[in-house]
Amino acid sequence: MAATSTPTTRVLVPSGALGISFDKAALDRGLAARPDIICIDGGSTDSGPFYLGTGTSKYSRAVTKSEWTHLMRARAAADVPLVIGSCGTCGTDDTVGWMLDITMEVARELGQELRVATLRSSQPGERVKDALRDGRIQPLAPASEMTAELIDACDNVVALAGAEQIGAALETGADIVLAGRTTDTATIAALPLQRQAHPGAAWHGAKIAECGALCSTNPTSGVILVDFDADGFTVEPLADGASCTPHSVSAHMLYENADPFVLYEPGGYLDVRAAQYAALDERRVRVTASQWVQQPAYTVKLEAARAVGFQATIMAILRDARYVRDAHPWMAKLQAFLADEIHTHMALQPDSYSLEFRLIGIDGALGELESKPSAPAEVGVLGIITAGDQETANEIGKLINPWVLHFPLTEDEELPTFAFPYSPAQSERGPLYEFCVNHVMQLEDPMDAFRLDVAEVGRDHAG
Amino acid sequence: MTTLADVAYKVRSKNAGPFWVTIDIFCGDRSAFEQIRNALTVARLATVLRQPAEAIRCFEIPELNVIKYSLPRPCVQGSRFDRDMHGAQLAVLVAELDING
């Protein structure tokens, strides 16, 4: 009898994230290639701490639902599992619930009967504090301190699930897996790993495909197909005119990675230093010899955000040539004057709030790092107020409003009037969130920090 | 003046998670790779970014003619004084450097 060979696992990745659109003709080609699973990412920290702080999605519900409807149809046609990781940008329990709600709505509209597995990644504070007490929390570089008080102050804490948790969700026989926060690669790596694909290849191929066609010569085209087997993986972009080359594929390890050779995942790390990249033809690249290094302790990365204040903003535009030229000294003078005004009228000490002006057109994006002298026609003055509560931030905005409109460079000139683009000039921004945890948590069992539920959706249980 | 961008194929910078930023210089060919690695030392980059040189990790990848720098974000992504949520403008500072400077 012949030895059982490892089957090829074919993974279809529609795009780098649900919500940024994908090439529908290319997706059809992917479906025709009979994939074993369809995987897409739903989130990232890249848009900032607000989404994790609030437990909300960056993308609109309308766009998310429209793309998800298309993928649910594709899944039904292919009759394979559809997996989304990091639901709703931040992957909290709330955004998994949001995605489940959309899924149930679409299932009803399409008349689909589905088994839906949800994997929840939100962490109760007590669990993290227990781990901290037991010495199961370690800082990552750049190191910061974790304390029980910090955990209590967090609005949301999530753990990043890996292939084990996604694998457990797939083992329920789910048609659709809605996962909370996962690593970017976990949804793609899980099935190949379950089916005994080369572990280095499973993680490396997942990393290459997780941003969709960014690993190809046509980065915006979306759809990617990856074949995983016992020796390596083969990656192929499916859009017209897109191709993968050894250069485009190997260069993708650089993308958004601090270290281009090593990628840490729950349970170990991927090392691609010895990886070999070969062009199979004009479109496809074969990669072998990537290495997975299993580590003795199973750790998952934590992410958390907390509110650290409330903000209001104000915007004015300087167009007078003298003010444009002297915008920096004008701003410094205004800043000192306003600190006094705020102290006089609101009795606020400088350490209880901040008022920062940024000069758009001069150094708005880079601040003190800006090296290029500029001579713009106009300068945008963006004032950012941060205070301990919203009412105070709004009050400061109102207090400074007339001065931001009229503050003169010298005492002996007629009051200038700058351009306010709208009324009121000040805007309430709500809470300011910060990413405040850069640690891993050690687990005995990969499922210890995650909750898996299964729901039958669109089936009538009444009969 | 010849800038680094005149010699390189592409320079980009991006967050690598909320706490790191990474700068990728695609030099294009071996001669540009050699020219850029000689011109842009870690010490020079540290001065441009006003960060300690010890904080900067440098990776040279001759097979791709790539030089990559990673460093802890001077401001944690999205924190109060962060000016650039995605960290993409640091690339411009590098691209505009005088290659002979």
Contact call for B78 and A49, based on CB within 8 A: yes
Q: Is the predicted pLDDT of residue A439 greater than 90, yes or no?
A: yes
Contact call for A256 and B61, based on CB within 8 A: no
Contact call for B19 and A47, based on CB within 8 A: no
Residue with tokens 């955000």: A305
pLDDT for residue A461: 52
Would you kindly state where each structural domain of chain B is located, as residue ranges?
4-95
pLDDT for residue A119: 98
pLDDT band for position A198 (50/70/90)?
very high
pLDDT for residue A229: 98
Q: How far apart are CA B16 and CA A254, in angstroms?
A: 10
Which residues touch A349 (CB under 8 Å, ≥6 apart)?
Answer: A343
Measured between beta carbons, the chain B residues lying within 8 angstroms of A258 are 16-17, 20, 22, 57, 70
Q: CB distance from A142 to chain B under 8 Å?
A: yes
Q: CB distance from B89 to chain A under 8 Å?
A: yes
Q: How far apart are CA A54 and CA A48, in angstroms?
A: 11
Q: CB distance from B70 to chain A under 8 Å?
A: yes
Contact call for A365 and B64, based on CB within 8 A: no
pLDDT band for position A463 (50/70/90)?
very low
- pLDDT, tens digit, for every residue of A390-436? 999 999 999 999 999 999 999 999 999 999 999 999 999 999 999 99
Q: Is the predicted pLDDT of residue A376 greater than 80, yes or no?
A: yes
pLDDT for residue A93: 98
Q: CB distance from A372 to chain B under 8 Å?
A: yes
Contact call for A438 and B19, based on CB within 8 A: yes
Q: Is the predicted pLDDT of residue A199 greater than 70, yes or no?
A: yes
Q: Are A223 and A22 in contact, with CB atoms under 8 Å apart?
A: yes
Q: CB distance from A360 to chain B under 8 Å?
A: no
pLDDT band for position A3 (50/70/90)?
very low
Average confidence score pLDDT of chain A: 95
Q: Are A383 and A400 in contact, with CB atoms under 8 Å apart?
A: yes
Contact call for A259 and B64, based on CB within 8 A: no
pLDDT for residue A1: 44
Q: What is the ipTM of this complex?
A: 0.96
Residue A401's alpha-carbon distances to A46, A310, A316, A406, A407, in angstroms, are 33, 18, 10, 9, 10
pLDDT band for position A374 (50/70/90)?
confident
Which residues touch A1 (CB under 8 Å, ≥6 apart)?
Answer: none
Give the one of A46, A354, A364 whose C-beta lies nearest to B83's C-beta.
A364
Q: Are A211 and A217 in contact, with CB atoms under 8 Å apart?
A: no
With 0.90 as the threshold, say if the pTM is over it: yes
pLDDT band for position A4 (50/70/90)?
low
pLDDT band for position A373 (50/70/90)?
confident
DSSP annotation of A140? P
Q: Is the predicted pLDDT of residue A460 greater than 70, yes or no?
A: no
Q: Where is mean pLDDT largest: A17-21, A246-250, A304-308?
A: A304-308
Q: CB distance from B65 to chain A under 8 Å?
A: no
Q: CB distance from A50 to chain B under 8 Å?
A: yes
Q: CB distance from B27 to chain A under 8 Å?
A: no
Measured between beta carbons, the chain B residues lying within 8 angstroms of A369 are 48-50, 90, 93
- pLDDT, tens digit, for every residue of B29-44? 999 999 999 999 999 9
Q: Which of B24, B80, B89, B93 to mutate to test the interface with A (most CBs of A within 10 A)?
A: B80
Would you kindly state where each structural domain of chain A is located, as residue ranges?
9-304+437-457, 320-418
- Percent of residues, chain A, with pLDDT higher than 70: 98
- pLDDT, tens digit, for every residue of A267-291? 999 999 999 999 999 999 999 999 9
Give the one of A256, A261, A309 whose C-beta lies nearest to B14's C-beta.
A256
Contact call for A46 and B84, based on CB within 8 A: no
Greatest pairwise CA separation for chain A in angstroms: 100
Q: Half-sphere exposure of A164 toward its Cβ, with a 13 Å CA cutoff?
A: 18
- Nearest Cα neighbor of A32 from A75, A82, A83, A78 is A78
- Percent of residues, chain A, with pLDDT higher than 90: 93
Q: CB distance from B41 to chain A under 8 Å?
A: no
Residue A243 burial class via C-beta count within 10 angstroms: exposed 0-12, middle 13-18, buried 19 and up: middle
Q: How far apart are CA A376 and CA A362, in angstroms?
A: 7
- pLDDT, tens digit, for every residue of A322-339? 999 999 999 999 999 999
Give the one of A367, A371, A432 whose C-beta lies nearest to B80's C-beta.
A432
pLDDT band for position A216 (50/70/90)?
confident
Q: CB distance from B3 to chain A under 8 Å?
A: no
